[in-house]
Structure 1
Amino acid sequence: MRVLLAAYDSRGGVEPLVGLAVRLGELGARVRVCAPPDEEFAQRLAGVGVTMVPTGQSVRDLVTGKTPPAPGGLPRRAADLVAAFYDNVTAAAGDCDVLVATGLVPAVAGVRAAAEKLGIPYVYASYQPVSLPSPHHPPMPRPGRPLPPDVTDNQVLWDRDARDAQEVFGEAINTHRAQVGLPPVDNVRDHVFTDRPWLAADPVLAPWLRPADLDVVQTGAWVLPDERPLPAELVAFLDAGTAPVYVGFGSIPMPNPQEVARVVVEAIRAHGRRVLLSRGWADLALTDGGDDCFVVGEVNHQALFRHVAAVVHHGGAGTTTTATWAGAPQVVVPQGADQPYFAGRVADLGVGAAHDGPTPTVESLSAALDVALTSETRARATAVAAEFRTDGAMVAARLLLDAVRQGSPSVVA
């Protein structure tokens, strides 16, 4: 059995494919991954013996502004993504038995088009329920298209979201489909999602609520135990005093990162805690050289989060999942997309606090830490971690291979 996995996403969106790829390999499948050409993705996949096909532009360079804006803006970038993923997937998947795609809509549309041309089954996967249409939640606002504040009917909002996706991406996707001999689609969102999307999220942290029109297959989060050791210098810092508070915003380009670093350090020190600051793609740095602070780059978060007093982060699916699995109390400072949803889930589960808004002040972050650093929150985080399903990637791998062998239309499109 041969499987191709594809994603155009940041580290939190590529990492789950690492877990799924490894579990598929354990079941005898041969796996390739189409992913952005960022070095950290290539190293991670190479480290577990998975072949990567670099596809599209560097996500990090786009997010951090190192890649100049393309002429034509979003429509041009969408067209480039559709073509890049169609071309690379078509070249890499000619002998594959199934394709799995996640990430940005134009990239997924390119994968779906390749699947149609090659006659290969296709699965779309999401890492959070709020990207999928449901009567139980509104859609996430698309860039430049905020949700109307006077509309509260979720079905009306989802209908609007489908129209927005068509207006933003439809021309680029349909122009490419015409070029490769495929018919146009009048609802690109539902076309790429299919009516049987998979949800690779933990059912306690991010449950799919029923009833709903979509026949969602929730597998559990695609996590893989990370055996990489922590750097010796970091271990020495952890051992030198009480558990620090970790702060990191992943791939989010935080505005005014120097001020953010100053605020978080001051708020954490006010609680008598040491600070562990992750540079991330915002390139956060310390404003002073106090020995109660330490800066880290790329490290094993699964191991690290088991040694911290709390995790302050942006609320991306990957970081929230890892912190929940580790049993670490959390403070979520959501910046957009699915992050307000995960902030709400952290608060609702009692495993931490949801910061009000994207810009922390010393006072607002201190108030959130007042909640996260209590013994009650620590106990609740430990209890929720015990309920976390660690077999999601294996569940998905078995389901995928069994469905392809049996030709099951109820699982793959």
Structure 2
Amino acid sequence: MRISLLAWGTRGDVEPFVALGQGLQRAGHDVSIAASTDLARLVTDRGLTYQPFFIDMAAAFNADTSREWVEHSIGPHREGRHLNRVMSEMAPVAAEGLERIVGNADALISGMLTYESALSAATHLGLKHIRGLMAPMTPTASGRALLYPPLSRRESRINLYASLLFEAALFQLVKPGGDVIRARLDVPRGTYRGYLQMSRATPTLVGVSPQVIPQPDDWRGLVDVTGYWHVPAPDDYIPPERLRTFLETSPAPFYIGFGSMPSSRPQELWAMLCRALDDTGERAVVRFRWRDWQPHEVPDNICVIDEAPFDWLFPRTAGVVHHGGSGTTGTALRAGVPQWIVPHMADQPYFGRRVQQLGVGPAPVHLHKLTAAKLAHALRTLRQNAVMQRRARVLGEQVRAEDGVSRAVDVVERMWG
């Protein structure tokens, strides 16, 4: 079967689809992955066929509109307005790529931001279609499986009603891309009722550990929480000498990095980080991908890196401080070390909350409320809390025992024959 995976997004959005694509290819399918041009090597280096969305996502994420989305998403309503602007601007590029890709596929697996567009195309062209998500998006009464639950630790109809409202809002956010592709395919404009009917009939895979997203009873028959779709570190990875020496010096350092998240105040964040490390006497491996600024001087207690496989790096650290992306959260869990999440946007507050509820990290602090004192307190907690460290080790063993890719491939083949 010719399967196209629509991996629209930054590296953290694309890597899980690469892992799933490898699993499907090993099972004998003809797999291609559509991603932005700056991530082509991520696909081809893993032996998969690449199809382009003609956009540099790293550059686009540092554009004014996307940066405003990341930095001013205080609460779901304001974040929704920013996301709608970003999606409207990117919709023509996504639609052009999707129009070209669907002509060479028997089946599609789409992510959250390509889902509504792919749903329209698949329905019109008679293609098989599965939704692949890295966060919980399906309505439920369970607060543990809901992005914005009124009651995060309970099952309640209040949660279910809130999740239905969220689903309606999400449809309005992703609809611009669908409108463009429907116009290109000469398909009538989408309605929310039609979207719900098609959505309820579309199988959904969630590439996250069931330890993190316990599968609610009201998802049975609709959603499979498979475990993480994990890309392991290359067997031949050799770290730079500076990083190797830094990691071998006791005590183990922390890792601090915010992934692809842009910032308009990198100097302020850098100074905050340096103060927190000085106050605690700690060391850290730091990865900040700020295109327009780099520190002129780096103190001895910091090792700045550009790239390193997290699967290799995190087990060598005392703990991980990060933005709360699904993949980074999962890799820290697999490493068996405690973590602290500084959410910026989207699903990141959810994973910050779940890390705390699972007992493997302190309560998250949103980027807008981050201070040197709060970072220092979190580092002390990660270093000194033996219960948290023990819980992280146990949970790490459980997550490493899962094989999310194999489970997802089994589900796909069972659904599609």
TM-score by length of 2: 0.84
Match among 248, 272, 285 for residue 263 of structure 1: 272
**2-structure distance, mates of 1:212, 1:2:** 28
Q: CA deviation at 1:166?
A: 4.3
Give the corresponding residue for 2:186: 181
Give the corresponding residue for 1:387: 398
Q: 1:251 to 1:387 in 2, by over 3 A?
A: same
**2-structure distance, mates of 1:403, 1:274:** 49
**1-structure distance, mates of 2:315, 2:207:** 23
Q: CA deviation at 1:77?
A: 2.0
Q: CA deviation at 1:121?
A: 0.6
Q: CA deviation at 1:362?
A: 1.4
Given that 1:10 and 1:60 are in contact with CA atoms closer than 8 Å, whether structure 2 keeps it comes out as: yes
Given that 2:319 and 2:383 are in contact with CA atoms closer than 8 Å, whether structure 1 keeps it comes out as: yes
Given that 2:139 and 2:167 are in contact with CA atoms closer than 8 Å, whether structure 1 keeps it comes out as: no
Q: 1:284 to 1:16 in 2, by over 3 A?
A: farther
Q: 1:43 to 1:77 in 2, by over 3 A?
A: same
Q: 1:379 to 1:68 in 2, by over 3 A?
A: closer
Asked if residue 22 in structure 1 is aligned to residue 16 in structure 2, the reply is no
Given that 1:4 and 1:32 are in contact with CA atoms closer than 8 Å, whether structure 2 keeps it comes out as: yes
SS of residue paired to 1:229: coil
SS of residue paired to 2:3: strand
* Cα deviation digits, residues 278-305 of structure 1 (max 9, x gap): 0235777446432221101121000000
Give the AA of the match of 2:120.
Answer: A
Give the corresponding residue for 1:311: 320
Match among 376, 401, 411 for residue 366 of structure 1: 376
**2-structure distance, mates of 1:377, 1:289:** 31
Q: Which moved more, 1:240-249 or 1:107-116?
A: 107-116
**2-structure distance, mates of 1:364, 1:284:** 24
Given that 2:319 and 2:339 are in contact with CA atoms closer than 8 Å, whether structure 1 keeps it comes out as: yes
Q: Report 1:23-102 matches (<5 A).
A: 23-38=23-38, 41-65=39-63, 73-74=85-86, 76-77=88-89, 79-93=91-105, 96=106, 98-102=107-111
More helix as a share of residues = 2
* Cα deviation digits, residues 53-99 of structure 1 (max 9, x gap): 11142221111118999xx9546425414522432322432xx3x21
SS of residue paired to 1:53: strand
Q: CA deviation at 1:210?
A: 2.5
* Cα deviation digits, residues 245-299 of structure 1 (max 9, x gap): 1100001113411111221222123222212110235777446432221101121
Asked if residue 133 in structure 1 is aligned to residue 145 in structure 2, the reply is no
Give the AA of the match of 2:323.
Answer: H
Q: Report 1:145-184 matches (<5 A).
A: 153-170=158-175, 173-174=178-179, 176-184=181-189
SS of residue paired to 1:373: helix
**2-structure distance, mates of 1:109, 1:36:** 19
**1-structure distance, mates of 2:94, 2:398:** 39
Q: 1:284 to 1:211 in 2, by over 3 A?
A: farther
Give the corresponding residue for 1:123: 130
Q: CA deviation at 1:175?
A: 5.5
SS of residue paired to 2:340: strand
Q: 1:210 to 1:68 in 2, by over 3 A?
A: closer
* Cα deviation digits, residues 369-410 of structure 1 (max 9, x gap): 2321123222211111011044101111122123322xxxxx
**2-structure distance, mates of 1:250, 1:118:** 37
Give the corresponding residue for 1:398: 410
Q: Which moved more, 1:15-24 or 1:181-190?
A: 181-190
Give the corresponding residue for 1:355: 364
Q: 1:117 to 1:285 in 2, by over 3 A?
A: same
Q: Which moved more, 1:4-13 or 1:110-119?
A: 110-119
List runs of 5+ in structure 2 lacking aligned partners.
68-83, 149-156
Give the corresponding residue for 1:411: none
Give the AA of the match of 2:27.
Answer: L
**2-structure distance, mates of 1:351, 1:211:** 27
SS of residue paired to 2:289: coil
Asked if residue 222 in structure 1 is aligned to residue 234 in structure 2, the reply is no
Give the corresponding residue for 1:408: none
Work out the number of aligned pairs and report it.
385
**2-structure distance, mates of 1:123, 1:318:** 20
RMSD: 2.7
Q: Report 1:207-246 matches (<5 A).
A: 207-212=214-219, 215-227=222-234, 228-246=237-255
Given that 1:315 and 1:333 are in contact with CA atoms closer than 8 Å, whether structure 2 keeps it comes out as: yes
